Amino acid sequence: MEKEVITESEEETHQLAKSIAEELQPGDVLCLNGPLGAGKTQFVKGLASYFGIDPATVQSPTFTLIHEYEGRLPIYHFDCYRMEKPEEALEIGAEEYFYREGVSVIEWPEKIMPFIPEHSRWINIESLGPQKRKFIFGNDNK
Ligand SMILES: Nc1ncnc2c1ncn2[C@@H]1O[C@H](COP(=O)(O)OP(=O)(O)OP(=O)(O)O)[C@@H](O)[C@H]1O
Ligand SMILES: [Mg+2]
């Protein structure tokens, strides 16, 4: 069954992300799917702090497209929003990242659909109001 969680503040989203981080294993890939301002980057900040990374260093990687953070597990943070074609993911070496020892987290995964690995977990985020967000955790692909 799909799991759904509603958060009512940025801090609650950080807490939720930490509880998900506990289950993560090297090589996991998380697809964060949701519109602008949904809370994808806030979720990554929560993951980062669980792994001992300063959440202040976590920003949407707009121009570089990928940020790498060193923690107990490294996090590879992708933002594909500005990609015009999926092949741009290959140019930044996305496929190698997906099979490395860190955890890959992808904002705007739909932009690079052909390259999203089978073993990815999807988290869909909906906005229910200014402070309220619904996180829907898929069982498998989408
Ligand atoms: N419950 C909540 N969870 C997460 N963020 C929230 C929540 N309530 C309000 N917010 C606000 O919503 C915004 C979420 O911004 P964030 O950068 O995480 O979005 P995003 O999904 O990464 O967007 P983008 O696609 O532009 O990168 C922040 O300003 C945050 O303070
Ligand atoms: Mg973002």
Q: Which token pair is 138? A: 């898929």
- Where do the domains of the chain lie, and which CATH numbers do they carry? 3-137 (3.40.50.300)
pLDDT at 65: 85
Contact predicate 99/25, CB 8 Å = no
pLDDT at 88: 94
Asked if pLDDT for residue 4 goes beyond 70, the answer is yes
DSSP string, 10-24: HHHHHHHHHHHHTT-
List 55's β-bridge partners, or say none: none
Distance from Cα 44 to the centre of ligand 2, integer Å: 9
**How far apart, in Å, are the Cα atoms of 60 and each of 67, 78, 102?**
9, 8, 18
Cβ neighbours for 7, distance < 8 A, ≥ 6 positions apart: 13, 15, 16, 39, 132, 133, 135
Query: Per-residue pLDDT tens for 31-75?
Result: 999 999 999 999 999 999 999 999 999 987 666 789 999 999 999
C-beta 33 within 6 A of ligand 1? no
Q: How far apart are CA 6 and CA 78, in angstroms?
A: 24
Q: Which token pair is 102? A: 């860190």
Proportion of the chain above pLDDT 90, given as a percent: 88
pLDDT at 37: 96
pTM for the model:
0.96
Q: How far apart are CA 51 and CA 69, in angstroms?
A: 10
Asked if pLDDT for residue 106 goes beyond 60, the answer is yes
Question: Which residue CA neighbors atom 30 of ligand 1 most closely?
Answer: 10
Distance from Cα 62 to the centre of ligand 1, integer Å: 15
C-beta 19 within 6 A of ligand 1? no
Strands (E), the chain: 3-7, 29-33, 66-69, 75-79, 103-107, 121-127, 133-137
pLDDT at 86: 95
Residue 140's pLDDT band (boundaries 50, 70, 90)? low
